[in-house]
Amino acid sequence: MVQNESISSEGVVLFRPVGEEELALIRESEWTAFPPRLYWQPIFYPVLNEGYATQIACDWNARDGHSGYVTRFQVHKAFLDRYEVRQVGGAVHLEYWIPAEYLEEFNRQLVGPIEVISEFHS
């Protein structure tokens, strides 16, 4: 079993790198939900560690004059137990693959608010 950086009594701590547009939608939800996926995005990818989220925020979100942000949040472990952790590269490249049609349910499983823990600008 893959261990996450932190598990509280209520939830598993996860991270998600986001760009400016996604962050604006999270803010509009009052920090309680990730926005629906676009039609060409069939999977929602929360990641298991801050280092991986930072890498994506810097290398993808914050390039070409944009900004990247790392969010941190908790999700009920019972919900995540339905999904396998996927290793998609090196040892730190760990993520869950949540089908887009389950994102609303994922949002209902959040424990507390989504928070921004770092930001990067090109």
- Measured CA to CA, the distance from residue 85 to residue 71 in angstroms comes to 19
Output 10 or 75, whichever has higher pLDDT: 75
**pLDDT value, residue 62:** 86
pTM metric for this prediction: 0.90
What's the pLDDT tens digit per position in 15-31? 999 999 999 999 999 99
Domains, the chain, with CATH or none = 11-121 (3.20.170)
Which sign does the torsion angle of CA 106, 75, 60, 63 carry? positive
Average pLDDT across the chain, whole number:
92
